[in-house]
């Protein structure tokens, strides 16, 4: 399968994102937000921590989306075919939905 390689800038961004997150969550940076202030009734440090956390998740999701290869489906699903018509999905009449015993084969005993 021939998958395109991501651009060097995209790879660099994927390397830098955890480092930026690490820097923003280090105690010397966090202590800058230890103030008796509140944001919408939430202490400033809590708002900062959750804001950084949310921003890191959002950036990682965007980067992951850019890394994911765009794959077109090979075969469109047949709208006339249902799970009931699929012989592989049919229940085992012998086992009636129970898991098979190890070493036991399907079909009549010989």
Q: pLDDT confidence of 57, banded at 50, 70, 90?
A: very high
User: For residues 47 and 97, what is the distance between their CA atoms, to the nearest angstrom?
Assistant: 51
Residue-range domain boundaries for the chain: 1-41
Please say if the pLDDT value at position 99 is more than 70.
no
In percent, the amount of the chain with pLDDT more than 90 equals 43
Token pair for 49: 């921590």
Copy the structure tokens of residue 85: 């018509």
User: pLDDT at position 50, please?
Assistant: 95
Here the tokens at position 50 are: 């959750």
Statement: the pTM of the whole predicted model exceeds 0.75: no
Burial (CB count within 10 angstroms: exposed 0-12, middle 13-18, buried 19+), residue 24? middle
């Amino acid at each position: 399968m021939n998958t395109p390689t991501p651009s060097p800038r995209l790879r660099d961004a994927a390397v830098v994102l955890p480092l930026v997150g690490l820097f923003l969550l280090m105690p010397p940076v966090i202590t800058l937000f230890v103030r008796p202030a509140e944001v919408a009734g939430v202490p400033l440090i809590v708002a900062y921590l959750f804001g950084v956390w949310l921003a890191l998740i959002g950036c990682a999701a965007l980067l992951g989306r850019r890394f994911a290869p765009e794959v077109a489906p090979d075969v469109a699903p047949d709208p006339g075919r249902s799970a009931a018509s699929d012989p592989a999905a049919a229940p085992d009449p012998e086992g009636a939905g129970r898991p098979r015993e190890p070493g036991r084969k399907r079909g009549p005993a010989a």
